[in-house]
Structure 1
Amino acid sequence: MKASPGARSWIAAGVRHELLTRALPALRHDMAAPVSVMRMALLMLKRQIGAPAIDAAACEERVALIDHQMSELVDGVRSLRDWELATTDDGITRSALVAQCVGLMRAAFDMHGIVLEVDPALAPDGGRDETRWPQGAALRYLFLGALGYLHDSETETGSIRIEARGDDAVCLNGTPRESGGTSPVLDAHRAPRALAIDAVALQSLAEDLGYTVALERDSVCFALAAG
């Protein structure tokens, strides 16, 4: 039986949920880190206030640190809006997209023995005038979906190289793991096989988001413009 449009949308929503679940450990870490720093700064501040002679300069330094970390935490909480497809965003550059998604998943992939390699042409460059592509949230899900597809491949992947294609596309190419290599942590951020990001899941996600992907067994390419 052919899936209805509503059913296909639910499939895509399930894929997005799975991808967000995989990214959550990194997001949680980014938000928990400022809290740890603030707790330590408060402890030091209490000790300084309780000392016989209060060092005003040291107290001001601790307060400034707490204020900075609070701003970092607020920014982290606000960044959760970046995952809402219904929210209008300012778009995203290709290098920023790659940097954000690789940053979110690198630790998990390292634990699974998968090396993420980024083409130097995709390195962030503050002085470069890059095109900002609309629908940053959709592109983030699509890129993470491509990473998940290669990560979940039945052929054990050893590395994934992310390359630029022209001025408006990205390609991810997987390389099989070499035999006799270091044993990875096999369950690190890997979903049960029933929830693996396979070709059907990735195509469903792309179609629902309005993008076209070119899929091979060990590669994924997609343009940054919808349609």
Structure 2
Amino acid sequence: MKTSPGARSWIAAGVRHELLTRALPALRHDMAAPVSVIRMALLMLKRQLAAETIDRAASEERMGLVDGQVSELVEGIRSLRDWELATTDDGITRAALVARCVALMRAAFDLHGVSLEVDDALAAGEDDKRWPAAAALRYLFLGALGYLHDGAPEAGAIRIEADGAEGLRFAALPREASAVNPVLDAHRAPRALAIDAVALQSLAEDLGYRIALERDSVRFSLGAG
């Protein structure tokens, strides 16, 4: 039975949901860390207030710490809007896109014995062009990582490099035999919601991007169309 446009949109929405679910542990950690610092600072303030003499300088220092952590927490909550495709954003540079997505997924991939390698050519530059639709590009980037992670279980690393002036290329690199860790490999069981070629292609088409897929590599341009 032929898939309707509406059904294809639902498929893409499901892929985006799965990718956001995979990124959530890192997002939760970024928002939980300030809360832990705030609780500790408040505990110290309570002890200082219970003392016979109050150290004003120390109390002001604790309050400054709480204020800074509250700002970080608010910023983290606001950043959740960055995942909404309907939200107008200021775009993103290629270097910033790579840095943010790699930071989100590095810990999870490390736990599965897969390192993320970024080419030095993707370092931020003063004239780095900003590309529109940062949310869409973030989903596409994470989709490429997920596709190689799920489809190449023998990979020990995924390398991200520039593909010309306007694109990105992802390549799964084989793991050296001496580096195989059976404990880590035991946790690489196939996912029920693996990002396969159909899923990634559906996501790219729904977002309006062209993507080139091979078994161990992914390429796409940051410009839509």
Q: TM-score range by the shorter chain?
A: over 0.9
Question: Over residues 149-170 of structure 1, what are the superposed CA-to-partner deviations in whole Å (9 max), with x where a residue is unaligned?
Answer: 0000144211111001121100
- Mapped pair 1:65 → 2:76: no
Stretch of structure 1 that moved more, 36-45 or 116-125? 116-125
The corresponding residue for 1:157 is 155
Checking the alignment, whether the CA contact within 8 Å between 1:162 and 1:172 is kept in structure 2 is yes
Deviations 1:78-105 (A, max 9, x none): 0000000000011000000000000000
SS of equivalent residue, structure 2 residue 151: coil
What do residues 39-62 of structure 1 show as CA deviations (whole Å, max 9, x unaligned)?
000011111111111010100000
Q: What does 1:1-227 correspond to in 2, within 5 Å? A: 1-125=1-125, 128-183=126-181, 184-186=183-185, 192-227=190-225
Q: 1:212 to 1:85 in 2, by over 3 A?
A: same
Deviation at 1:123, TM superposition (A): 2.1
* Structure 1, 170-179 or 140-149: larger mean CA deviation: 170-179
Report the 3-state secondary structure (helix = DSSP H, G, I; strand = E; otherwise coil) of the residue aligned with 1:152: helix
Q: Which runs of 5+ in 1 are unaligned?
A: none
Which whole-Å CA distance do the structure 2 matches of 1:70 and 1:132 have between them?
30
Secondary structure, in 3 states, of the residue corresponding to 2:12? helix
When residues 52 and 148 of structure 1 are mapped into structure 2, their CA distance, relative to the original with a 3 A threshold, is: same
Deviations 1:76-134 (A, max 9, x none): 00000000000001100000000000000000000000011001111235xx1211100
Count of residue pairs brought into register by the alignment: 224
Alpha-carbon distance in structure 2 between the residues aligned to 1:192 and 1:26: 21
The 2-side partners of 1:25 and 1:8 are apart by 28
- Please, what TM-score do these two structures have when normalized by structure 2? 0.95
Q: Match for 2:184: what amino acid? A: V
Kindly tell me: are residues 92 and 191 of structure 1, through their superposed partners in 2, closer, same or farther at Cα, counting changes over 3 Å?
farther
Consecutive unaligned residues of structure 2, counting only runs of 5 or more, are none
| Aligned residues: CA RMSD | 1.4
Deviation at 1:179, TM superposition (A): 2.5
Q: TM-score, normalised by structure 1?
A: 0.95
